[in-house]
Structure 1
């Protein structure tokens, strides 16, 4: 079967490549030739510098949404002046607006976009329509930057550049300086870059671009214009240091501890294309808390990455979903082996990261290369022998090396082939692992159809070698009103990338067909409409068994008042065979078919008060069995500086069945009731574009009550039993409060003061009333943490300039 899949993949890729047509000549690329300035403008948002007077002007913006292709009206026209010098490129933009008092200008933290007008630039130094760097400024003066590729927008990337914004009698204006050190372009005396510029007018929710972007296609980068005129520049050395110092005071269960840390991040431009990033003695103590839950599934809970080093510039490393950075510095891989009289008194919750670096970039021929390396320290547990009083240490995680290597070749405007390899090597007799994947995503020249797929293998060495495979193949129409996708994928039982990646379901085949319809221009009543229809078929590979077939329809609409709403249905008409819940290879649990329906609504985000709700109801083909999932949200913007957002998410599952335990003879299944409530509150007061105060609160409560226990029959059915008498009823609470003060006192430099309060508990009983539950939660020891962290950005060129001035003085 694996050989047949490989042959099909190769044939389909060859046919698709052979069938590619000439590039769509309807895509017109605007051009602008800019000039060099001998004196730089003051970056304050006021276009009164004399250097702007004779600068080339880009205008004639075209609406992207909601009215795709409509020229921008003169009353709201956009004019952008562009210059360059030996250090960087400058943009001076005037956004005309007849009602300056109505310009949306909500203050947010850096990289945040709220209820804002904004102006931005996308620059592609290699002019290949595949990779751009985005620089955007809101009318409130807040910076946003991101990497933009054909895969989407990576807003975790951060850059050091300069901007200013001002509201004026004509509307509002922006000045930007983007240093060459933050851009990527080839070494050439004459530069030709891809460029687009964009503007948002929030009160009418309209987006405009300098070079027309056709919304019938699926990629923004395809529609770059051309920037010419930059000649004979000498890019500076790209080298920067970001040292930090931090201090923590922790109080828990009557004990107070403190510690002081220091370290550094280093960034070095190896050449025009590649960058070296390194973190030495990293400190991630101020990362956001994880939203933990009561997890009764067969799989571990996946948490999002909160650590800055692992979130910035990761678009290459995320290819193929084979790298889950939370594994680096995650939980130890072993638990100590103890004798009858021994007890583990200390066990490390996390493994310490010693250092990590990454090298990434893309050549002018479209080859992206990424290499990541991380080293974690040896961690030990402490074990006490109660009989002898002896205390011993046992290694639960040795010194460990993590590697990720990625090659990603882009070609023909919007196609790519990628090779990914991940490797984990642990010292001693601990488990090692390796995984390799080949991915392809090949579009025709008109970017209307594509074929995609992957072939992956995993090797785990833990006494013996375990080898698993995963493969996918599909074809998709990606342009126009009517779109579709047909794909299939298979994962063998020994597929395992959990040493450096994240995988859950294995030993299955899945085949999916999808059809979607959308409108490309507004109608009398709607600005947008998306209709999707899906069918999914699942089966177990070894030994073969039908798992499930699911039909799905989901729909989304945006009306003329910019209210967004939708709903859908999903049903599984046949009894499902759940091969994971029994947690035993070769066994399955029968689950009745279901009918699911849902609706959702989100009010106009321009209003001070915004609200949303969702109601989702599952009705199973079994008496008394159902599931209700609801979400409610309110956000109130008191002013452009202060807003509060509250969410409440209750859910209820009645008469569900799930794994309860097993012995040498039987697998036990329990019938249970689950009630879950999640409350979260986020409020922010932003003093200006550099200083903000935020409060984040979350309380999660979930209880489970078991009603009846069964033994699992070989055919997946259940038989009532009295053999299982364990108490599995439980209540889980998680409480977190973060109060954060953040000050960006200089470009790339930040002072952060954080107060954190957290507690949690798990009770071996359920059905508590609210008062009793809170009394028991707050009787638990509570973590109180105060931390102060200072990071300071040092650019090599600026330091060199300071040194020269001091020497001359």
Structure 2
């Protein structure tokens, strides 16, 4: 194992030296295709010079461009096509003007169109980016890594995003206050914009230069054109901007916004006879406050007191049989905004298959569902809280003019108790302790943004735990370093991270962690790990190192290695699926740079992965090839194939020995028709099959999106999957001191359907509906125990119980292994039918910029069905039967004071 690690590091270091020998150039040279011949073109930075005006001279924001003050500056224009045919003349031209005064930046756009009646004016919610639009990106620090993006559609819908990591992150949760209007005339369409300078971050230099870029979407041709040319094979985005000059004596504006809100919530649900806590309804009124305070022009303090996230869409339904937790994306606005500053992914890679969702900080741990639950006796009822309130949170974040990205988050969540009723006598039991969460993140840019180094520290501290919660950690700490260095005009990069974790708790808590599915120290045959029941702490490490090339030509690649030590534990405030993992990955890609008569763009990729554990066992080898195609008619297709000749799992037997998994062939394939059409379709399916037929899986999703009018959009996407596996884990049992690794053959079918309906009355008033019925049935047969987990043939790994050895009575299986007529062990029937229906209806009105009214109606029905019933029949009988869903009606009003 030691030699293997040295070999991997040696190969990466050699590749790094070879890449560095290629030299560095101060002027970017792009190799492109034109009429079948290669040529080299120097990209010249464009400049636009603005001028200042007096506040009383400011143009009226009406979209007409008739104010005489606009004549004080020239037009900027000469846009050049970016997609699909880079460095050619666009189908239509665009031009702009920029002015400023002491408080605002003003922009005017003229978007030419010879057929103005064909301008697409689709309505959507903010950040919808539907139809024709124009956009401006402003790098007000000129740091070549971050920017503020403002978009406006021909229908007047605003879009705004904070751009970071040189264009690799676009945060649409950033919602500044700004103003815009559009008009359509005989020449095309126009837009006027006023951006308060308090919404931007910039230095206090007397004479400033900002990075500037503008993008135009010409909807009919699905064409993008840019003011500043950017070669299609040049990596990065912000680093390639042109320049805005003429900014004199600007004074940074410290932001101050306060947003109080109040929420009225009413719930109704099916009453539980005899349960004093489930009488069928409840009503509550809450209030809270959000504030955004500009400590400096660079750094902002966000505060929230008693936050409410009632308007957030419910998570989609999901069920996992592998025992691992499911990752759900963060949707709460307080945590989504600027989340890129706080995150440190454990092992990001272009190659994938490296647990890309694992992160040192996962904000959904804050305010999670209570982790404890009371043990109830006969006749007892419990009122268990559904969530953990956040008493208050503060977030200090931003980026300074000298390249420091700063993030500090502090949050306190409440102690939650369950009330237990025993024939009128009530007691309380803590189910979630008072908990403090802290996250600190720093990152520093060097070398004009081509290099950065960062660090992170997290702390989770819980109050003194009662006996009922002794399984939780009393404290958990984690931290890390990350870096990235780019050279040769960012074509090449070397990056990586090093992370650590340290958890503290009772012997019971640390034992539970050691034996959890993330670690499984108790597994048989793993000599490099062992359970220590007396431990009260656990420390681990992880990291990632990668080398890649992503620019200058058709070919790209990335190769690297990542590891998670057996003791690494991030799940108190981070997200981590499993530990004890070392893997190598390589990705090689070829992409076309110019369109032809058939394709706008095509990419072909190759990947491979190899996975070891810290015991030196090679657990997985997998090869992949895939391709995507963007056709000339703007359809998209993709196809991919995997082959895994070697597969072993340390986790399949949940603490049992390492298990051989049969070699696998798998595929995926998808098709999307032109999304610009009123009616568009998509189809995606994937499947996997063991070469010895010991398992197979197939999933298909096909749906459509229909936009009959500019204001109305409907989408329906049903999904069906089937899973047939002869070795699905059931339980680990002990019979006369000997283990039984009980498995069965499962036949599982799952159906779900996502339904969305969006009606946009105007850009500030929308009605949105989302609903998802979900059902998953699983039937188990052919129960067996694993006897030789490493046997090459599947039949030799197991002993299957015959008809005379196993019987079912009253939902309990009894097994007579020795044929003496007595049951040697028993287990419950694992068949299941999980049925759920979730929906949200949201009416949102932004009655003035930054101030909103929400009316939300949500439904949640979760129940168990009959696993022997047909899938759609079970869905119908449970969702449309007698069961009463939980209904929540919520009214939330906010008012944003901006100073």
1:326 partner SS? helix
Partner of 2:883: 780
CA distance in 1, matches of 2:661, 2:24: 49
Check whether the contact 1:13–1:451 (CA below 8 A) recurs between aligned residues. Answer: no
Aligned counterpart, 1:404: 439
Shift of 1:316: 0.5
Query: Which deviates further from its counterpart, 359-368 or 130-139?
Result: 359-368
Q: Which runs of 5 or more residues in structure 1 are unaligned?
A: 797-809
Count residues with an aligned counterpart. 787
Q: Greater shift after overlay, 756-765 or 254-263?
A: 756-765
Please list every run of at least 4 consecutive aligned residues from structure 1 whose deviation after the TM superposition is greater than 4 angstroms.
1-20, 338-344
Of 474, 486, 490, 2:546 maps to 474
1:185 pairs with 2:202: yes
1:298 aligns with 2:323: yes
- Of stretches 129-138 and 282-291 in structure 1, the one that deviates more from structure 2 is 282-291
Are residue 374 (structure 1) and residue 411 (structure 2) matched?
A: yes
| 1:174 counterpart = 2:202 | no
1:468-547 paired onto structure 2 within 5 Å: 468-479=540-551, 480-541=553-614, 543-547=615-619
Stretches of structure 2 that go unaligned for 5 or more consecutive residues are: 29-41, 272-279, 346-358, 466-471, 507-535, 791-796, 807-814, 816-825
Alpha-carbon distance in structure 1 between the residues aligned to 2:781 and 2:765: 53
CA–CA distance in structure 2, aligned partners of residues 626 and 221 of structure 1 = 45
Where does residue 317 of structure 1 map in the other structure? 342
The match for 1:327 is: 365
Out of 94, 97, 103, which is 1:81 matched to?
Answer: 97
**What's the counterpart of residue 268 of structure 1?**
293
Match of 1:805 in 2: none
Inter-CA distance 241–666: structure 2 relative to 1 (3 Å threshold): same
1:88-118: CA deviation from partner (whole Å, max 9, x where unpaired): 110001001100011111100011122x111
Structure 1 residue 99 corresponds to structure 2 residue 115: yes
Which residue of 2 is the match for residue 749 of structure 1? 851
Q: Tell me the equivalent position of 1:392.
A: 427
Structure 1 residues 3-43: Cα deviation after superposition (integer angstroms, max 9, x where no partner): 98899799799968898724334342111111112211111
1:564 aligns with 2:636: yes
Q: Show the counterpart of 2:785.
A: 711
1:279 aligns with 2:304: yes
TM-score (norm: length of structure 1): 0.93
Cα 1:80–1:298 change in 2 (3 A) is same
Q: Which residue of 2 aligns with 1:199?
A: 216
Partner residue, 1:428: 464
Tell me by how many angstroms 1:398 deviates: 1.7
SS in 2 for 1:260: strand
Per the TM alignment, residue 608 of structure 1 is displaced from its structure 2 partner at its CA by 1.0
* Aligned mates of 2:45, 2:209 — CA distance in 1: 13
Report matched runs for 1:78-227 at 5 Å. Answer: 78-114=94-130, 116-149=131-164, 150=166, 151-227=168-244
Residue from 44, 53, 61 that aligns with 2:71:
53
Distance 1:12 1:229 in 2: 47
1:222 CA drift (Å) = 1.6
Q: Which residue of 2 aligns with 1:250?
A: 267
1:24 aligned to which of 19, 27, 30: 27
- In structure 2, the partner of 1:37 is 53
Name the SS for the 2:701 alignment partner: strand
Structure 1 SS opposite 2:583: strand
TM-score by length of 2: 0.84
Find the aligned partners of 1:549 and 1:19 in 2 and give their Cα distance: 32
Whether 1:690 aligns to 2:760 is no
Structure-1 residue corresponding to 2:503: 460
Contact 1:517–1:531 (Cα < 8 Å) also in 2? yes
SS at match of 1:57: coil
What SS does the corresponding residue of 1:58 show, helix, strand or coil?
coil
Please point out which of 878, 883, 892 is paired with 1:789: 892
Residues 383 and 785 of structure 1: CA distance in aligned 2, closer, same or farther (over 3 Å) = closer
Q: Which residue of 2 aligns with 1:555?
A: 627
Q: Which moved more, 1:606-615 or 1:9-18?
A: 9-18
User: Are the equivalent residues in 2 in contact too, given 1:194–1:226 (CA < 8 A)?
Assistant: yes
Find the residue that maps to 1:315 and give its secondary structure: helix
**Is the contact made by 2:367 and 2:389 (CA closer than 8 Å) also made in structure 1?**
yes
Assess, with a 3 A threshold, how the Cα gap between structure 1 residues 606 and 14 changes in structure 2: closer, same or farther. closer
Q: Retained in 2: the 8 A contact 1:727–1:764? A: no
Cα shift readout 1:129-185 (whole Å, capped 9, x = no counterpart):
110010010111100001112232121211111111111111000101111100010
Deviations 1:412-463 (A, max 9, x none): 2333221111110111145210111111121114111111111111111112
- Alignment partners' CA distance in 1, 2:254 and 2:603: 48
- Corresponding residue number in structure 2 for 1:804: none
In terms of mean alpha carbon deviation, does 544-553 or 1-10 score higher? 1-10
Question: Which of 445-454 and 3-12 deviates more?
Answer: 3-12
Tell me the distance in 2 between the aligned counterparts of 1:7 and 1:509: 13
Q: Which residue of 1 aligns with 2:773?
A: 699
CA-based RMSD of the aligned residues comes to 2.3
Identify the range of structure 1 (22-31 vs 345-354) with the bigger mean alpha-carbon deviation: 22-31
SS at 1:181's partner residue? helix
CA 1:9–1:497: 2 relative to 1, 3 Å: farther
Q: Specify which of 40, 62, 66 is matched with residue 84 of structure 2.
A: 66
Is the 2:202–2:252 Cα contact (8 Å) retained in structure 1? Answer: no
- Equivalent residues of 1:17, 1:442 under 8 A apart: no
Determine the structure 1 residue equivalent to 2:653: 582
